[in-house]
């Protein structure tokens, strides 16, 4: 019998039957907001310490939610296992993020369609800010999934707004002192977190369509008068509702 791990993967792999929607969330609170909306959710055995997964129906779509843990390495390991094991039809990063663009507000849903590394710097060798030598200047979302994600976000938006564009990720929490120089390096960046680019890079390498739907919980460098923080459970719910809408749209074909 052929095992899932024996099937070729990557951009040139042969077409495969549609698998589940894979949802990647860093923290248990972020994953819990999504699994609370699922029907018939059952835990999956995961051979990775610190990683949890459940599979069930979300919006009528077969869906697996994986809690990856925080950071680039954790996200890469969990996403690699999930893609190789579950053969998903698409993957989406969900949960919270920090708002980096000066005009982003807490609660805003950020739809990621391009991704790079917030602290990678090989500019001395002619690379773009955030570009890892040998890698692309930007990792790019699947356009069809990103379009569905944006439509889903707009369908559930309760007034905080929806933005689509570049998301940064790296193993550094972007605090206010780091925000201004990071905006100078990445003037079009909307948000920063510690996992999304790693998930995007993994999905790209393994040939799985990818986008991101994360809600802003904190502003990296708030301006005077701006609300700068929302509780994680509130932001996780905002992201979860958008992901549920995305799953429903995928289920409808």
Q: Give dist(CA 153, CA 161) in Å, integer.
A: 9
Q: Report yes or no: 54 and 65 within 8 Å, Cβ to Cβ.
A: yes
For 222-251, b/e burial (b = at least 16 CB within 10 A) is: beeeeebebebeebbbbbbbbbbbbbebbe
| Cross-strand partners of 56 | 63
Residue 76's Cβ-side half-sphere holds a number of Cα atoms within 13 Å equal to: 10
Q: Give dist(CA 31, CA 38) in Å, integer.
A: 11
Question: Which residues have a catalytic role annotated?
Answer: 30, 218
């Amino acid at each position: 019998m052929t095992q899932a791990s024996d099937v070729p993967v990557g951009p040139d792999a042969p077409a495969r039957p549609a698998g589940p929607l894979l949802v990647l969330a860093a923290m248990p609170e972020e994953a819990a907001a999504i699994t609370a909306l699922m029907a018939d959710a059952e835990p999956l055995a995961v051979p990775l310490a610190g990683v949890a997964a459940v599979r069930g129906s979300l919006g009528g779509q077969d869906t697996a939610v994986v809690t990856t843990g925080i950071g680039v390495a954790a996200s890469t390991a969990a996403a690699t296992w999930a893609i190789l094991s579950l053969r998903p039809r698409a993957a989406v990063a969900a949960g919270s993020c920090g708002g980096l663009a000066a005009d982003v507000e807490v609660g805003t849903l950020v739809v990621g369609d391009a991704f790079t590394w917030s602290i990678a710097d090989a500019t001395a060798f002619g690379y773009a800010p955030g570009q890892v030598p040998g890698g692309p200047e930007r990792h790019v979302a699947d356009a069809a999934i990103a379009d569905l994600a944006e439509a889903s976000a707009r369908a559930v938006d309760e007034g905080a707004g929806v933005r689509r564009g570049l998301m940064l990720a790296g193993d550094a929490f972007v605090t206010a002192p780091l925000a201004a120089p990071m905006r100078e390096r990445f003037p079009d960046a909307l948000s920063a977190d510690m996992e999304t680019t790693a998930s995007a890079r993994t999905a790209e390498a393994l040939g799985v369509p990818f986008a991101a739907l994360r809600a802003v919980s904190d502003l990296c460098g708030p301006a005077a008068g701006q609300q700068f923080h929302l509780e994680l459970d509130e932001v996780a719910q905002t992201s979860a509702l958008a992901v549920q809408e995305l799953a429903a749209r995928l289920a409808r074909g």
